[in-house]
Amino acid sequence: MLLARLLLLPFAVASTVTLYVSSVPVSGGTAVIPSAIPLAQIEYDADQAVGTLASYTPPTGSYSDDHLLRVGLTDPKTGSWRGVVTSASSFADQYHKKFIVHVDEKGEPYHIGFGTSAKGAGKEVEVEVVKRSPGSKPVLNRPIVLNAEGKLETKEPEKTFLQKYWWALALFIVVQLVSGGGEGK
């Protein structure tokens, strides 16, 4: 049993992926995009959907509360940015931070999310790994069956006594009014 675990250990460790998350200040109106600043190093296991924070360095500098930062990663193949835009004040000490790594079926990250909440008990910075799963499929009803005339075959609701025999009651009243009674002497 111990020998089997030792033989399977390299396969279990091989599925751990290291991801480098960075931040980039959002520059208003300038054509030059500043270089990315390392923010966090996240190690995750896509099979287990578990992530840990290996290192974290919050952004420093003279950012005002209304200053925006891009938080995410750069795709090495296309050079496109994958992440979110957040306020620089999100990195203040009074907030609990959470990195959300979205991975596809192969375990490759395709998006980084970042959120904050009021600080409570627990870790200051948390990592969550979310695997992409197929969406729900529509539940279809049974097919509509038409009769030989091309109409829906439905049972007509049963009629009440008045709905069936209204004409007989109307005829009885008309006969009573027309026949009238004899004159009283």
Percentage above 90 pLDDT, the chain: 9
More confident residue, 48 or 100: 100
Q: Percent of the chain having pLDDT more than 70? A: 81
- Across the range 140-155, mean pLDDT stands at 84
Model confidence pTM above 0.85: no
Report the range of poorest mean pLDDT among 59-63, 73-77, 108-112: 59-63
- Six token digits for residue 173: 């009243």
List Cα–Cα distances, 182 to 163, 178, 179, 185, in angstroms: 33, 12, 9, 9
Residue 18 pLDDT grade (very low, low, confident, very high; cuts 50, 70, 90)? confident
Average pLDDT over residues 142-170: 87
Instruction: Count other C-beta atoms under 10 Å from residue 125's C-beta.
Output: 15
